[in-house]
């Protein structure tokens, strides 16, 4: 704080020399009558000829002791001392921040101080700039106390408006007119010369932000309405408007937060869980640039289709994403490590610039920046698998979401990703169960499942989790995969598998087993017919008995029949065996070496009690 005061001390003097012209709220009258868009249309006619530059393409990071900035093209890295007391704003070519009781304007490309003005205990909510004047919306740190300042490049406060009741949102400016959203439904156009309200836009949807996107103003919060020749039709739904598809996303991210509230300098979860999209003309109407928008969730960024919200790509970062911006052909994301990653609309890696410091917060403005061509990312299943691998508890919500997304995809590679996830000892329990369920429902990628089954728990080789035998057994049985019988039979006698997995493997074998598996089946039957003390194991023994009856010939029938009579056989197993009909029925005429797929077992195993 002290450093900023010292740094900007000289320009502060200018404020005292340039008394502000003050309004006390006439501009935001609650007596206004809906004019059907006439006044705002007139404002458009008045200011549309005033050129509005798209503004600087920069990222501004908030460190523990100040600001760092860099162009998205890697140019002009700068630092400024003094920690802001709310999130800074990038307005045109000016970075605006409040610190130590003053608002400070910095040149976005160099970090050089442009001006400094007192803010009467307020902190910054947001700012806009028309190339000559910066409009600041300020408020008390704890809410309320709205104040609008218009500061010219020489540090003069050209206009100061302190509304009586209205809570002001994030303003924009064009042609010396400030566009100020307020009370969540209006945007007042204030002539900065006279302080008069020239017109007012009534929106039917929530509005608390006025923003400059590539030299065109837009207003909104949940969606955006463009300030163009149709803006007068806003109240009747005829303006150029765009919204993002409504869909479930982890953490319920929003495109814009409530602009009439202060955003903290240090990014909270709210800033780390956001949507980024850029309005643009698409196919003759206002749409989303590149047809993609992005959702962040801490370390993961998801690229979504602007038409239907479907997931198109996923990027995983080493640190939390603290801020970002949408450009015309991609996105820039700023993470806690100070890296600003450029991602094209297809999710490709388009480069990175480095702010060179660890950050607690970050704001990015894309201006008119166009990303270089990105390197193609891997397949979506691979991207999803990578995102799901991140071992951080706060990621669990997003990972469950991504896992569900993964499960909806039909590529065989998805099966591999699910197998890997379900086999990894580091996979959190919550995700593990989901992965296993999805795996059981797969009907392709058998080769990945068979490969997984070839592995067993092995302490000396550091294989400390058995493969997901149960889900794989379910899936391969449903696919009638004959190659599964051998590996499943081998797993039957591996104590490292859970009873539930054994039960499912045995059930699959009752359908898939051939004479080649008789040895393993008999061993299992011998070991557990009298020792099965869990319902799952009892069911497994009964399934194996069915397999023995089906493929074991007379010997198999004898083994089962003897067990059914033996007093040492576990009572539950015995009861189940009594329901089987082994040698009593004449053996059907052989129709081939293999059982027909889908052969029904002789009796159903006991249900779980």
- Interface ranges with another protein (CB under 8 A): 457-462, 493-496, 499, 523, 525-531, 533, 537, 562-563, 566-568, 570
Query: Would you say 444 and 431 are in contact if contact means Cβ atoms under 8 Å apart?
Result: no
Name which of 249 and 580 has its Cβ closer to another protein. Answer: 580
- State the burial class of residue 482 (Cβ atoms within 10 Å of its Cβ: 0-12, 13-18, 19+): middle
Distance of closest approach, residue 567 Cβ to another protein, in angstroms: 6
- Cβ 369 to another protein shortest distance, Å: 54
- Nearest distance from residue 572's CB to another protein, in Å? 13
Residues in CB range of 426: below 8 A, 6 or more apart: 391
CB closer to another protein out of 257 and 493:
493
Cβ nearer to another protein, comparing 319 with 523: 523
C-beta closer to another protein: residue 182 or 525: 525
Which one, 179 or 528, has the nearer CB to another protein? Answer: 528
In the complex, minimum distance from the CB of residue 401 to another protein, in angstroms, rounded to a whole number: 33
Give the nearer residue to another protein in terms of CB position, either 17 or 568. 568
Residue 191 or residue 536: which is nearer to another protein going by CB?
536
Q: Are the beta carbons of 487 and 459 closer than 8 angstroms?
A: no
Least gap, CB of 261 to another protein (angstroms): 54
Q: Measured between alpha carbons, how far is 194 from 591 in angstroms, rounded to an integer? A: 98
State which residue, 192 or 548, has the beta carbon closest to another protein.
548
Q: Please state, in angstroms and rounded to a whole number, the distance separating the CA atoms of residues 66 and 5.
A: 12
In angstroms, what is the minimal distance from the CB of 604 to another protein?
23
Dmax (CA) for the chain in angstroms is 110
**How far is residue 141's CA from residue 263's CA, in Å, rounded to a whole number?**
9
The secondary element (H helix, E strand) that includes residue 406 is: helix 396-408
Q: Dig out the tokens for 93 from the structure.
A: 């070519």
Which of left, alpha, beta for 533 (phi over 0: left; psi -120 to 50: alpha)? alpha
Smallest separation, CB 170 to another protein (Å): 59
Place of tokens 């029949």: 561
Could you tell me the smallest distance in angstroms from the CB atom of residue 272 to another protein?
40
Closest distance of CB 462 from another protein, Å: 8
Cα separation, 171 vs 472, in Å, equals: 57
C-beta closer to another protein: residue 352 or 523: 523
Query: Considering only CA atoms, which of 496, 427, 426, 485 is closest in space to residue 455?
Result: 496
Minimum distance from CB of 483 to another protein (Å)? 23
- How far is Cα 423 from Cα 72, in angstroms, rounded to an integer? 41
Encode 520-530: b = buried (16+ Cβ within 10 Å), e = exposed.
bbbebbeebbb
- Closer residue to another protein, CB minimum distance, 433 or 533: 533
Shortest distance (Å) from residue 525 CB to another protein? 7
Q: Which is nearer to another protein, 31 or 461 (CB)?
A: 461
Q: DSSP readout, 510-530? A: HHH--GGGHHHHHHHHHHHTT
Identity of the residue, 53 or 463, whose beta carbon is nearer to another protein in the bound complex: 463
- By beta-carbon proximity to another protein, the closer residue of 142 and 461 is 461
What span, in angstroms and rounded, lies between the C-alpha atoms of 501 and 540?
9
219 within 8 A of 201, measured Cβ to Cβ:
yes
CB of 608 to another protein, least distance (A): 17
Q: Interior CA angle at 430 toward 540 and 605, to 5°? A: 15
* Alpha helices for 131-218 (secondary structure H): none
| DSSP character string of 419-452 | HHHHH-TTS-HHHHHHHHHHHHT--S-HHHHHHH
Least distance in Å: CB of 520 to another protein? Answer: 10
Whole-number Å distance between alpha carbons of 182 and 207? 7
DSSP 292-347: EEEEEETTEEEEEETTT--EEEEEE-SS-EEEEEEETTEEEEEETTSEEEEEETTS
Asked whether 449 and 415 are in contact (CB, 8 A), the reply is: yes
Q: Which is nearer to another protein, 405 or 501 (CB)?
A: 501
d(Cα 404, Cα 411) in Å, to the nearest integer? 14
Q: Whole-number minimum distance, CB 588 to another protein, in Å?
A: 28
């Amino acid at each position: 704080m002290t450093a900023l005061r010292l740094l900007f001390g000289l320009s502060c003097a200018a404020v005292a020399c340039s008394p502000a012209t003050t309004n006390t709220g006439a501009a935001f009258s609650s007596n206004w009558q809906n004019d059907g868009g006439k006044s705002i249309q007139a404002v458009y006619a008045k200011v549309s000829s005033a050129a509005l530059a798209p503004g600087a393409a920069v990222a501004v990071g908030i460190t523990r002791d100040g600001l760092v900035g860099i162009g998205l093209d890697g140019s002009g890295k700068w630092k400024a001392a003094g920690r802001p007391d709310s999130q800074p704003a990038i307005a045109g070519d000016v970075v605006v921040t409040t610190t130590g009781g003053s608002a400070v304007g910095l040149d976005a490309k160099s970090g050089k101080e442009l001006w400094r003005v007192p803010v009467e205990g307020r902190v910054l909510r947001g700012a806009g700039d028309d190339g000559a004047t910066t409009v600041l919306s300020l408020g008390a740190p704890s809410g309320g106390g709205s104040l609008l300042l218009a500061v010219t490049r020489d540090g003069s406060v050209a206009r100061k408006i302190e509304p009586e009741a209205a809570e002001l949102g994030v303003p924009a400016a064009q042609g010396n007119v400030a566009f100020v959203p307020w009370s969540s439904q209006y945007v007042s156009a204030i002539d900065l010369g006279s302080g008069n309200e020239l017109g007012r836009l009534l929106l039917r949807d929530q509005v608390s932000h006025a923003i400059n996107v590539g030299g065109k103003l837009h207003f909104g919060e949940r969606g955006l309405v463009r300030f163009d020749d149709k803006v007068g039709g806003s109240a009747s739904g005829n303006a150029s408007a765009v919204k993002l598809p409504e869909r479930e996303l982890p953490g319920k991210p929003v495109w814009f937060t409530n602009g009439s509230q202060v955003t903290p300098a240090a990014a909270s979860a709210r800033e780390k869980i956001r949507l980024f999209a850029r309005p643009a003309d698409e196919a003759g109407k206002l749409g989303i640039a590149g047809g993609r928008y992005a959702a962040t969730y801490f370390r993961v960024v998801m690229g979504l289709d602007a038409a239907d919200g479907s997931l198109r790509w996923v990027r995983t970062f080493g640190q939390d994403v603290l801020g970002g911006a949408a450009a015309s052909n991609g996105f820039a994301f700023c993470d806690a490590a100070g890296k600003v990653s450029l991602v094209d609309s297809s999710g490709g890696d388009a480069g990175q610039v480095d702010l060179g410091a660890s950050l607690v917060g970050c704001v990015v403005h894309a201006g008119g920046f166009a990303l270089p061509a990105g390197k193609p990312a891997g397949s979506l299943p691979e991207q999803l698998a990578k995102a799901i691998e991140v071992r951080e508890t706060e990621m669990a919500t997003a990972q469950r979401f991504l896992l569900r997304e993964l499960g909806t995809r039909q590529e065989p590679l998805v099966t591999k990703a699910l197998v890997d996830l379900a086999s990894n000892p580091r996979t959190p329990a919550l995700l593990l169960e989901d992965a296993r369920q999805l795996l059981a429902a797969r009907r392709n990628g058998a080769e990945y499942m068979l490969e997984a089954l070839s592995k067993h728990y092995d302490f000396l080789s550091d294989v400390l989790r058995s493969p997901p035998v149960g889900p794989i057994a379910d899936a391969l049985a449903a696919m009638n995969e004959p190659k599964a019988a051998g590996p499943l039979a081998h797993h039957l006698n591996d104590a490292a598998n859970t009873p539930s997995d054994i039960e499912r493997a045995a059930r699959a074998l009752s359908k898939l087993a051939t004479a080649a598996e008789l040895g393993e089946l008999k061993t299992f039957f011998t070991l557990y017919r009298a020792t099965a003390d869990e319902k799952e194991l009892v069911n497994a023994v009964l399934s194996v008995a069915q397999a023995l009856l089906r493929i074991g010939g007379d010997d198999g029938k004898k083994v089962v029949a003897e067990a059914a009579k033996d007093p040492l056989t576990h009572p539950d197993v015995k009861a189940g065996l009594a329901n089987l009909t082994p040698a009593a029925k004449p053996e059907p005429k052989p129709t081939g070496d293999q059982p027909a797929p889908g052969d029904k077992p002789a009796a159903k195993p006991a249900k779980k009690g």
